[in-house]
Amino acid sequence: MAEVLVFHHGHGLTAGVREFAEQLRRVGHTVHVPDLFEGQTFDSLENGMSYTEDIGFGTIIARGTAATEGLPAELVYLGFSLGVLPAQKLAQTRPGAKGALLLEACLPVAEFGGAWPDDVPVQIHGMDADPFFAGEGDVDAARALVETATDAELFLYPGDRHLFTDSSLPTHDEHAATQATDRVLKFLNRIK
């Protein structure tokens, strides 16, 4: 079974993120879910992103990096939207990474200093008309990553919802979220 470090999105550590982590635990994975917002959650993504801008994206990445203290190097990093920042950085730069699951965001690999590591498999999930994922270049970064990485998959789901995987938000899409969760579980089951 895999050991997974899950980073939440811009609403904070919601019930939906906790439930997603619990689904992974129920099948035997060890899952850590740090709170990058230190107890705050936001009803709107705009308010959560305003908070993030106030504290700085660098702070989010630093809090994500700090969450690895005391954890083994052999982790799978999973990020939802904003949480992709620390997840992708750690997967690319922390030795020992076992994999990366990037949900609803993807940054250019150059953002964290070069090529994707050959020994780190990655899966990327997003909706094909999501104004953030498709409209702000994340899907292009995802396609570039898939073209250059040794073991990478991109899954696009029909729709325009951001944070479709969070069951506690109105943007949740049950069908797409179920497909994404099944693919995440298959990915984790092949991690040795």
> pLDDT tens across 141-169, in order?
999 999 999 999 999 999 999 999 999 99
- In sequence order, the β-bridge partners of residue 99 are 76
Quick count: other Cβ atoms within 10 Å of Cβ 44?
Answer: 10
pTM: 0.96
Average pLDDT, the chain: 96
With cut-offs at 50, 70 and 90, classify the pLDDT of residue 19.
Answer: very high
Q: What is the mean pLDDT of residues 67-71?
A: 97
CA distances from 174 to 56, 102, 128, 130, 139 (A): 32, 18, 16, 16, 21
pLDDT at 84 over 80: yes
> Strand pairing partners for 78?
6, 101
Whether the predicted pLDDT of 116 surpasses 90: yes
pLDDT at 155: 98
* DSSP bridge partners of 116: none
Rounded-to-integer distance, Cα 143 and Cα 70, Å: 34
Q: What percent of the chain has pLDDT over 90?
A: 98
At residue 113, the pLDDT reads 85
* Arithmetic mean of pLDDT, 76-103: 98
Q: How confident is the model at residue 57 (pLDDT cuts 50, 70, 90)?
A: very high
pLDDT higher than 80, residue 191: yes
- Check: CB of residue 36 under 8 Å from CB of residue 62: no
Residue 192, pLDDT above cutoff 80: no
pLDDT of residue 114: 80
Over range 8-33, report the average pLDDT.
98
With cut-offs at 50, 70 and 90, classify the pLDDT of residue 178: very high
CA–CA separation, 143 vs 17, rounded Å?
Answer: 25
Residue carrying the six token digits 């705050």: 40
CATH for 3-189 is: 3.40.50.1820
Backbone φ, ψ for residue 72 (5° rounding): -65, 160
Question: Which has the closest alpha carbon to 7: 47, 65, 92, 55?
Answer: 65
